[in-house]
Amino acid sequence: MKLNSILELPVLYKLFSTLVGAQNSQSIFVNQYVRPVTGARILDIGCGPGNILDHLPQVDYFGFDFNPSYIESATRRYGDRGQFFCQRVSEAQVFLEQPESFDIVLAIGILHHLDDAEAIQLFDIAKRALKKGGRLVTFDGCYVKDQSPAAKYLLSRDRGQFVRDEKGYTDLARARFDNVVVSIRNDLLHIPYTHIMLECMK
């Protein structure tokens, strides 16, 4: 079985994430970039099996993902802390029925799975869903100048087919958000890897 297929299974996805240090990286991501407060209303685009809830305070959480196994796992483990829906980004109109109702929108490891057209849809959904002053916060692998060969190789083997460089991500974000703060990190996993975080303010 290929790695891509293995990682479609929630239990093995979580094991792999633990081995590479993703729990620590998610904690840093939440504490330094998401900065949620208790009671915040959060929309998580591409929520996977919902592991981010291990790092969030008590919030009003809504997550969606196109993988039914992830959603089943998330509902089983975190159903008392949030609501989960099985949908692709392009089908997520349900979250736009109450526009400007979310404090934070998350897109963790999702943009590099989307082509430019669907990525723009994600930014559109986030902008419409956010309250005035709300933020979209994204987290993805990224190509950078003078990157180590190991990091570049691992990024090239990622399940996502649309890993971009910094300009590629920020151009998409700035097509919909005027205020975008960019952070690049090389120290979030136990393996050589480069991440980009975008904070897009409405």
Q: Residue 5: what pLDDT?
A: 43
Q: Residue 180: what pLDDT?
A: 98
Reading the block at residue 173, the tokens are 């974000």
Write the pLDDT tens digit of every residue in 81-113: 999 999 887 666 656 667 889 999 999 999 999
Q: Residue 4: what pLDDT?
A: 44
Closest residue by Cα to residue 190 from 73, 19, 8, 67: 19
Q: Residue 158: what pLDDT?
A: 86
Domains along the chain? 3-201 (3.40.50.150)
pTM for this entry: 0.88
| pLDDT < 50 stretches in the chain | 1-7, 10-11, 15-16
> What is the C-alpha to C-alpha distance for residues 162 and 101, in angstroms, rounded to an integer?
30
Which alpha helices (DSSP H) does the chain contain, by range?
3-6, 10-20, 22-29, 68-78, 116-129, 149-156, 166-174
Q: Residue 89: what pLDDT?
A: 78
Q: Residue 99: what pLDDT?
A: 81
Q: If you ran DSSP here, which 8-state letter would residue 202 be given? A: -
